[in-house]
């Protein structure tokens, strides 16, 4: 059965480029991103891992740990990391799982037979401190992922988990947010002292509450 939003993210133990890990212990009480790659030495994924390495500090600022997974063996990962560091001018500082037995791929339903019977699809999961799946995105092999969008979504998830708000289309950190429908306008005015702009009874904006 495939994972759905709100499900508990399965725990696992795995060999990685940073040593053996237990996934839950690796995450601790923070947020996590688990993202898969079809195989090592693939050009699109090389750029993706490079971009993730470039944004490591941004993820760390948000208390997010990043973990990549590929079905190739550990020694191949080590060589690939050298290539990524060289070609993308970065230093990969996060682990890459060697999932030769496809244990992680199976747990997270990363193999889609109609796309490939052997390689993982390019899935990305955001996992909250409660170990629940907060976001799932799956890309085709031909399209590189947008990791600035991943950061944007993490900002939204962290904000909306702490306040009674939602984020509108194309929202970015610092912009106005939407008051959730469950809160009446009268209660919203009390709850959000920066002000509430009522466009429609169901569409109310307020400045980002934690700014």
Give 9-40 pLDDT, tens digit per residue.
999 999 999 999 999 999 999 999 999 887 88
Taking a C-beta distance cutoff of 8 angstroms, is the pair 107, 10 a contact? yes
- For the chain, the domains span 13-144, 163-206
User: In CATH, which superfamily holds the domain spanning 163-206?
Assistant: Antioxidant, Horf6; Chain A, domain2 (3.30.1020.10)
| Least confident window among 143-147, 168-172, 201-205 | 143-147
- Rounded Cα distance, 61 and 70, in Å: 26
| pTM (2 d.p.) | 0.91
Domain 13-144 and domain 163-206, same fold? Reply is no
Which strands form 122-127's sheet, in the order they lie side by side? 19-22, 13-16, 96-98, 64-70, 31-37, 122-127, 133-139
**Residue 24 designated active-site:** no
Q: Yes or no: say if 94 and 65 are a contact pair by the CB < 8 Å rule.
A: yes
Helices (H), the chain: 23-27, 43-54, 56-61, 74-88, 103-107, 147-162, 185-191
> What is the domain class of 13-144 according to CATH?
alpha beta
Among residues 75, 83, 65, which one has the least CA distance to residue 29?
A: 65
With bands split at pLDDT 50, 70 and 90, how would you rate the model's confidence at 121? low
Catalytic residue among 27, 45, 49, 154: 45
Determine the average pLDDT of the residues in 54-78: 95
Q: So what's the pLDDT on residue 122?
A: 77
Show the tokens assigned to 29. Answer: 């009480």
Kindly give the pairing relationship between strand 165-166 and strand 96-98. Answer: unpaired
Q: What is the pLDDT of residue 117?
A: 45
């Amino acid at each position: 059965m495939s994972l759905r939003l709100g499900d508990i993210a399965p725990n696992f133990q795995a060999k990685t480029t940073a040593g053996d890990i237990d996934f839950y212990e690796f995450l601790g009480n923070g947020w996590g991103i688990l993202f898969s790659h079809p195989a090592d030495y693939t050009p699109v994924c090389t750029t993706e891992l490079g971009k993730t390495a470039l944004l490591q500090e941004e993820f760390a600022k948000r208390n997010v740990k990043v973990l990549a997974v590929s079905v190739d063996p550990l020694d191949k990962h080590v060589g690939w990391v050298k290539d990524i560091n060289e070609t993308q001018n970065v230093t990969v500082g996060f682990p890459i799982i060697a999932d030769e037995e496809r244990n992680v791929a199976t747990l997270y339903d990363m193999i889609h037979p109609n796309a490939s019977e052997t390689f993982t699809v390019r899935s990305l999961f955001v996992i909250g401190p409660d170990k629940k799946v907060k976001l799932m995105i799956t890309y085709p092999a031909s399209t590189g992922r947008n990791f600035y969008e991943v950061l944007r979504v993490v900002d939204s998830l962290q904000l909306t988990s702490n306040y009674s708000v939602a984020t509108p289309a194309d929202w970015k950190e610092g912009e106005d947010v939407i008051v959730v429908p469950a809160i009446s306008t009268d209660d919203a005015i009390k709850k959000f002292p920066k002000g509430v702009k009522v466009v429609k009874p169901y569409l109310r904006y307020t400045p980002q509450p934690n700014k």
